[in-house]
Amino acid sequence: MTLDDDAITALRATFGGEVLAPADAGFARARAEALWNGDISHQPALLTRPTSNEDVAAAIAFARAQGLDLSVRGGGHGYAGKAVVEDGVVIDLSRLDQVRVDPDSRRASVGGGAAWAAVDAATTEHGLAVTGGTVSHTGVAGLTLGGGLGWLMSRQGLSCDNLVAATVVTAEGRTVRVSEQEHPELLWGLRGAGTNFGVVTELVFALQEVSPLANLGLFFWRPEDAAGPLSFARDYLFDLTPEMGALIAGVSAPPEPFVPVEHQGIPGIAVMVVSWGSAEEHAAAVEPLRALGALFELVTPIPYVALQQMLDAGAPWGIRAYDKSLNLDELSDDAIRVILQAVARKQSPTSLVPLFPLRGKVREVADDATAFGTPRSRRWAVSLEAVAEDAETFAAEREWAREGWTALRPYAPDDGAYVNFEYDTHPERVRASYGEGKYRRLAALKAEWDPDNLFHSNVNIAPQPAAIGVPSPRATTDTSVTDTSVTEPSG
């Protein structure tokens, strides 16, 4: 698409950050840095890197004036590549990545372009943390605004459960401060469907005390030996104290020193338990798993920041990726059989099948307290993730993921998915993932804040005003808004 050069010149004249067109030096590199998934080839007409809320508002106004599609790039880690829109304008928040921690109030203010590694480093320095995924180069905003699973979720809840405030630049170019006191209904929507309502330039999290040193127990079985251990773990993990974290994953044994050379690269099931108490407490907790005769194990102290980075090597920047997700009420014997068959069939060492147990604090939060789509009563969020370096292997693995999902679908209660784990976010799937009641509430909120659906390169909620005569679910009619010149994001 050919853009109006005069319009670009006018944008650059007042833009504090970068404005890059395809012919500019640095555009190709900026485009490559914008997306983690190397299988996505979207080419924008203009890529902007704002350094302030005013810049964000200017980029929004430019896209609207030019009649262009718009996308927002937080961390760029989404499987579907929605952060970079074809032939449109990208608002790349990577320059807004600062993290500030106030240890007295136990709050972290995080820029919309920050990655979790920066948050982990800054908070751990004070013996604090917040739930933040399992891959450290994941973007904070994208993970949180869609939910946010992680090692700490059983003791702290989801990332979105700990979001207490945010700064949003709206489709009209206004800068809005959002909290329980100001626009609480919008805060509700940000906690699970937050990419729909504006550009989130800052997120504020409530932090909790977490020891900088964790204890990790990892136990690995071949697929043919894993049915018994997995059927044990599906119940045992829910018996653990919520102060402990847990994860099951169908993975390939990594080329690490703790894995015997003859076992490196083979597919299997890993059951992981993490605690932040004493080594003795952790040893007692993992002893029943140790007694199940794992092929190999790793039981060790580990810094929390290293735990957060432990799975990074399996998801390097630029690798090709695709995922299919569903939620399960129960991990039945038949579902276990399907999962083990899928793990045994995967060809790429980086493809995986994570199974997140939704336990502890996650289940204590009321379903209607946030916009998080997955019912809190579900026990498992499961994803089949095809990840490969070369195109040929990736094509085969993508079919592997689809076939595995189809085989597992009969054991799921509906078509809903944890939206951060799903590549194919067509409208019917999105509606199923949020549920009818929550979707209608989100659609009304969308109609209020983005009635033209400017922000649609996302897990999209279509705007639909509340029906005439039906009371709005909004908890307040506060409409206070700051001008874009007032609030400057910290990162």
pLDDT score of 481: 35
Topology (CATH level 3) of domain 99-209 = 3.30.465
Confidence of residue 466 (pLDDT cuts 50, 70, 90): confident
pLDDT one-digit tens code per residue, 370-409: 999 999 999 999 999 999 999 999 999 999 999 999 999 9
Does 288 score more than 70 pLDDT?
Answer: yes
pLDDT one-digit tens code per residue, 65-100: 999 999 999 999 999 999 999 999 999 999 999 999
List the chain domain ranges: 7-95, 99-209, 213-423
Percentage of the residues of the chain whose pLDDT score is greater than 90: 93
CATH of 7-95, picked from 3.30.43.10, 3.30.70.141, 3.40.50.150, 3.90.870.10, is 3.30.43.10
pLDDT score of 467: 66
pLDDT one-digit tens code per residue, 34-60: 999 999 999 999 999 999 999 999 999
Does 342 score more than 80 pLDDT?
Answer: yes
Confidence of residue 479 (pLDDT cuts 50, 70, 90): very low
pLDDT one-digit tens code per residue, 307-335: 999 999 999 999 999 999 999 999 999 99
Region 155-169: mean pLDDT is: 98
Q: pTM here?
A: 0.93
Topology (CATH level 3) of domain 213-423 = Vanillyl-alcohol Oxidase; Chain A, domain 3 (3.40.462)
Does 104 score more than 90 pLDDT?
Answer: yes
Does 432 score more than 60 pLDDT?
Answer: yes
Confidence of residue 474 (pLDDT cuts 50, 70, 90): very low
CA–CA separation, 391 vs 114, rounded Å? 30
